[in-house]
């Protein structure tokens, strides 16, 4: 059989622990036999990040800027325990944070639906994709624990010497104060990423904030989305037959619960944090969530939403059998290959991505799955496979 050709390389970012093991298996059994795989390889495994003083992460992000599409394995974000475990020179920053900083993107998370793993919400028939703004608000806040009687003030000093000042509260006793901010540039980038992704996936875009209460802060988000839509995207949306829809967050929550899914829900930083956990747990499993970073310039980086599955890796190191779910990592590859195929006009490559996804879904729907899914499925006669058997079961169908 002749292998499917690629023209532009994918940026391949290898990672850590159990997902690094899965990564190699996926390439060996599901990709290399079928595709003449062209990648520019970056080893983001913690050892190599440490050796290169994390330069490899920066290089990988810059390569993504150059080529436009990347696929990333889960990576360790070091904490004190990891510094000791890997004898790190320093506590390197989160690679996802570094990459996001360079590409300036928004992360979109969507569940992978299979029969037998039903969402808790009965109406949900299609995936709901969450787009979370990743800058500012309460994540970059300044807080004061007010000790007693006094005045809380919000003050802006312009570079030109102008001053804007508002009283927040005349405290009669102890209390709390919080200052948060965002920037027009960041909100515009967020809006552009959302509109771009909606067009690329041909899905409706919803956006919600609390603009009725927060008449300047949240209302600015609403206004910027509206402006970016009208000036840059309306015509393309109409051509694609999709809509942009703004509503108050309370109304959005109620509508989401009663919806069938099949749209993108854009949310401010905190709302996105909370709602993405709600939506992903309602769909069943973090191991069945895909995640893609989309930059406002239309650059795509695909990954799994889960981590490196450390506990399974330690079992693996002890020579014990693992049953780790590789679906989200497989879908990171198919997402990236399909996007590469679209950009390079390689329909064969796109069709391969479709076939690999359907072989993966079929494997589960025919009752062969990893332990995490076996625990939550409604299917009878389930065969629990180990990590490699599951990937081979997909390869057989492929």
The minimum distance between CB 97 and Mg ion, in angstroms, equals 15
48 binds, among Mg ion, ligand NAP, none (CB under 5 to 8 A by kind): none
The secondary structure element, H or E, covering residue 376 is: none
The minimum distance between CB 156 and ligand NAP, in angstroms, equals 36
Part of the chain binding ligand NAP (CB under 6 A), chosen from 154-162, 299-307, 344-352, 389-397: 299-307
Q: Which is nearer to Mg ion, 132 or 192 (CB)?
A: 132
Q: Which is nearer to Mg ion, 136 or 371 (CB)?
A: 136
The minimum distance between CB 146 and ligand NAP, in angstroms, equals 35
273 binds, among ligand NAP, Mg ion, none (CB under 5 to 8 A by kind): Mg ion
Task: Please give the residues from 66 up to 105 whose contact with ligand NAP meets the rule CB under 6 A.
Answer: 74-77, 96
306 binds, among ligand NAP, Mg ion, none (CB under 5 to 8 A by kind): ligand NAP
Tell me the residue number closest to ligand NAP, measured at CB: 307
Site size toward ligand NAP (CB under 6 A) is 17
The minimum distance between CB 315 and Mg ion, in angstroms, equals 26
Q: Which residues pair with 369 in a beta bridge?
A: 384
Three-state DSSP at 378 gives coil
Query: Interface with ligand NAP includes 377 (CB under 6 A)?
Result: no
Distances (CA, A) of 110 to 152, 355, 371: 42, 19, 21
Q: Cβ-count burial of 84 within 10 angstroms (0-12 exposed, 13-18 middle, 19+ buried)? A: exposed
Between vectors from CA 267 to CA 199 and to CA 121, what angle results, nearest 5°? 90
Q: Tokens representing 185?
A: 């540039």
Tell me the residue number closest to Mg ion, measured at CB: 273
Three-state DSSP at 72 gives strand
Part of the chain binding ligand NAP (CB under 6 A), chosen from 61-69, 106-114, 260-268, 308-316: 308-316
The minimum distance between CB 274 and Mg ion, in angstroms, equals 7
The CA distance from 256 to 268, in Å, is 16
Q: 289: closest CA among 272, 273, 274, 305?
A: 305
The minimum distance between CB 277 and Mg ion, in angstroms, equals 5
Task: Please give the residues from 318 up to 357 whose contact with ligand NAP meets the rule CB under 6 A.
Answer: 324-325
Q: Tokens representing 67?
A: 């080529």
Count of Cβ atoms closer than 10 Å to residue 100 Cβ: 19
Query: Interface with ligand NAP includes 385 (CB under 6 A)?
Result: no
The CA distance from 65 to 305, in Å, is 21
Instruction: Select the residue interacting with ligand NAP from 191, 198, 286, 294 (CB under 6 A).
Output: 286
Query: Interface with ligand NAP includes 309 (CB under 6 A)?
Result: yes
Kindly report each contact of residues 275-278 with a partner whose C-beta sits within 8 Å and lies 24 or more positions away, as own/partner. Answer: 275/130, 276/109, 276/130, 276/132
Contact residues toward Mg ion (CB under 5 A) are: 273, 277
The minimum distance between CB 339 and ligand NAP, in angstroms, equals 19
The CA distance from 128 to 109, in Å, is 8
Query: Interface with ligand NAP includes 132 (CB under 6 A)?
Result: no
Q: 205: closest CA among 178, 179, 231, 226?
A: 226
128-132/263-267 β-pairing: parallel
Binding footprint of ligand NAP on the chain (CB under 6 A): 74-77, 96, 286-287, 303, 306-311, 324-325, 372
């Amino acid at each position: 059989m002749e292998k499917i050709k690629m023209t532009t390389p994918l940026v391949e970012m290898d990672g850590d622990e159990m997902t690094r093991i899965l990564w190699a298996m996926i390439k060996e059994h599901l990709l290399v036999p079928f595709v003449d795989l062209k990648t520019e390889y970056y080893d983001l495994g913690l050892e190599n990040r440490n050796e290169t003083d994390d330069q490899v992460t920066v290089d990988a992000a810059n390569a993504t800027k150059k080529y436009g599409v990347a696929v990333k394995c889960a990576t360790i974000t070091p904490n004190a325990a990891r510094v000791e475990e890997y004898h790190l020179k320093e506590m390197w920053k989160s690679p996802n944070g570094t990459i996001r900083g360079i590409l300036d993107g928004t992360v979109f998370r969507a569940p992978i639906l299979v029969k037998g793993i039903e969402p808790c919400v009965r109406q949900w028939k299609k995936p709901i994709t969450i787009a979370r703004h990743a800058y500012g608000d309460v994540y970059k806040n300044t807080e004061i624990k007010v000790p007693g009687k006094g005045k809380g003030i919000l003050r802006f000093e312009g570079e030109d010497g102008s001053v804007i000042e508002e009283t927040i509260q005349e405290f009669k006793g102890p209390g709390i104060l919080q200052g948060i901010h965002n920037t027009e540039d960041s909100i515009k980038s967020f809006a552009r990423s959302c509109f771009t992704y909606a067009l690329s996936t041909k899905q409706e875009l919803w956006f919600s904030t609390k603009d009725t209460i927060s008449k300047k802060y949240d209302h600015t988000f609403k206004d910027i989305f509206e402006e970016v839509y009208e000036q840059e995207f309306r015509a393309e949306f109409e051509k694609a037959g999709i809509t942009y829809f703004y509503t108050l967050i309370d109304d959005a929550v109620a509508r989401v619960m009663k919806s069938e899914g099949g749209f993108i829900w854009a949310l401010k930083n905190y709302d996105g944090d909370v709602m993405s956990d709600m939506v992903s747990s309602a769909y069943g499993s973090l191991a069945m969530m895909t995640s893609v970073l989309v930059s406002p310039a239309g650059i795509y980086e695909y990954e799994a939403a889960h981590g490196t599955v450390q506990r399974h890796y330690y079992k693996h190191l002890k020579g014990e059998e693992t049953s780790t779910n590789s679906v989200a990592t497989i879908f990171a590859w198919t997402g990236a290959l399909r996007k590469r195929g679209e950009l390079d006009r390689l329909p064969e490559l796109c069709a391969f991505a479709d076939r690999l996804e359907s072989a993966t879904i079929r494997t589960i729907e025919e009752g062969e799955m990893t332990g995490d899914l076996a625990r939550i499925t409604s299917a009878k006669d389930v065969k629990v496979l180990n990590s490699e058997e599951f990937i081979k079961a997909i390869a057989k169908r492929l």
